């Protein structure tokens, strides 16, 4: 079907027609961020999805995020512009293997990072995001052993912050594991006044150089409020669009990847385009669906997160 010339206007009018809300993650391309009703980190987007009055949720993010919106809103139509927008971290934790891992650690409660499938959420006791993981783990009684899944880097960071021992599932994010410690240090030598800010999904070799570590929203707030004028940003560079919008007088340098031919854009997040967004709204597809039993089981730990991080 014909694609309109003015996709911004066409998407706006479909939003009205469908009574849709368009939620976008900070790792989306700038045009998508600019047309979204809400942009946020995973926790903020989950909260928006939990509280919306819209009939349709259009999720400009990856599959587990849209699935989270569906878990919270079984009766709403949840659209994801490209169903292939997965996540290497979610994929690093297959349910069968995780079931065996859980069985090998009886008496442990399972805290899972929201970057996982509904099947893994259904096997978890509490969900967390990068902005509340430390806070939630601190609420667990000292004598209660914990499994933390699926991100080993966030898990290790939470262990350091809380002094808690946890059993870690060995998953990781392909984007946050590709930064080069050596090149970051070289950049810092060229820009000694710069602050290094990093997402906790980065490896410890990168995190140890960071002046500040936080979720995408936390990094954005920090960059806005810090007295520094220059930042080396160790997360997906999509966030730099908002940093430049909110603090245009400051300089944001993307942290360099190991392979100089590569970039640190998330290939899954970047599958979404304005054109696919328009088509998804026009066709009311592709839609996220979930077996009701899985959805209900996955909802319980999501609700615990929303209560515990209120």
Footprint of ligand 13P on this chain (CB under 6 A)? 41-42, 115, 129-131, 173, 199, 201, 215-216
Does the protein bind ligand SF4 through residue 279 (CB under 6 A)?
A: no
DSSP 247: -
| Window 163 to 182, contacts with ligand SF4 (CB under 6 A) | 173-175
Spatial distance between the Cα atoms of 220 and 224, rounded to a whole number of angstroms? 6
Residues 24-43 that bind ligand SF4 (CB under 6 A): 27
Smallest distance, ligand 13P to C-beta of residue 262, A: 17
Dist CA 64 CA 86 (whole Å): 7
DSSP, res 116? S
DSSP secondary structure letter of residue 151: B
**CB of residue 292 to ligand SF4, shortest distance in Å:** 26
Residue placing its CB nearer to ligand 13P in the complex, 48 or 199: 199
- The span from the CA of 94 to the CA of 91, in Å, is 6
Query: Which string of x and - marks every residue 216-245 that binds ligand SF4 (by CB under 6 A)?
Result: --------------------x---------
By the rule CB under 6 A, 87 interacts with ligand SF4:
yes
266 binds ligand SF4 per the rule CB under 6 A? yes
**DSSP tally for the chain: helices H, then strands E:** 15, 12
Minimal distance, residue 182 CB to ligand 13P, in Å = 23
> What kind and span of H or E run contains 113?
strand 109-113
d(CA 79, CA 287): 5
- Which CA distances in Å does 240 have to 108, 126, 129, 166, 191? 39, 31, 20, 33, 18
Residue 88 binds which of ligand SF4, ligand 13P, none (CB < 5-8 A, kind-dependent): ligand SF4
Closer residue to ligand 13P in complex, CB, 68/129: 129
Query: Coil, strand or helix: which one is 168?
Result: strand
To ligand 13P, the closest distance from the beta carbon of 133 in angstroms equals 10
Contacts with ligand SF4, residue ranges (CB under 6 A): 27, 62, 87-89, 115, 173-175, 236, 266, 268-269
């Amino acid at each position: 079907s014909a694609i309109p010339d003015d996709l911004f206007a066409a998407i706006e009018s479909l939003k009205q027609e469908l009574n849709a809300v368009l939620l976008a993650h900070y790792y989306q391309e700038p045009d998508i961020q600019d047309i979204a009703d809400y942009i946020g980190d995973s926790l903020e987007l989950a909260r928006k999805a939990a509280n919306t009055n819209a009939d349709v949720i259009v999720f400009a993010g990856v599959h587990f995020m849209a699935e989270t919106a569906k878990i919270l809103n079984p009766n709403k139509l949840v659209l994801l512009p490209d169903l292939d927008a997965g996540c290497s971290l979610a994929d690093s934790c297959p349910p069968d293997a995780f079931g065996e891992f859980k069985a090998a650690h009886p008496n442990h409660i399972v805290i899972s990072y929201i970057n996982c499938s509904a099947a893994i959420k259904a096997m978890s006791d509490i969900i967390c995001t990068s902005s509340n993981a430390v806070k939630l783990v601190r609420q667990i009684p000292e004598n209660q052993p914990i499994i933390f899944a699926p991100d080993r880097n966030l898990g290790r960071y939470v262990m350091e912050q809380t002094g808690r021992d946890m059993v870690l599932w060995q998953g990781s994010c392909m984007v946050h594991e590709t930064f080069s410690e050596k090149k970051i240090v070289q950049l810092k030598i060229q820009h000694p006044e710069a602050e290094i800010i990093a997402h906790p999904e980065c490896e410890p070799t990168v995190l140890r150089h960071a002046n500040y570590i936080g979720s995408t929203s936390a990094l954005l707030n920090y960059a806005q409020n810090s007295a520094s004028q220059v930042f080396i940003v160790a997360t997906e560079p999509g966030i730099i669009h908002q940093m430049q919008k909110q603090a245009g007088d400051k300089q944001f340098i993307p942290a360099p990847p190991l392979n100089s031919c590569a970039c640190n854009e998330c290939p899954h997040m970047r599958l979404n385009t304005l054109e696919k967004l328009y088509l998804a709204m026009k066709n009311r597809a592709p839609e996220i669906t979930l077996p009701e039993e899985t959805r209900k089981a996955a909802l319980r730990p999501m609700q615990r997160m929303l209560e515990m991080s209120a």
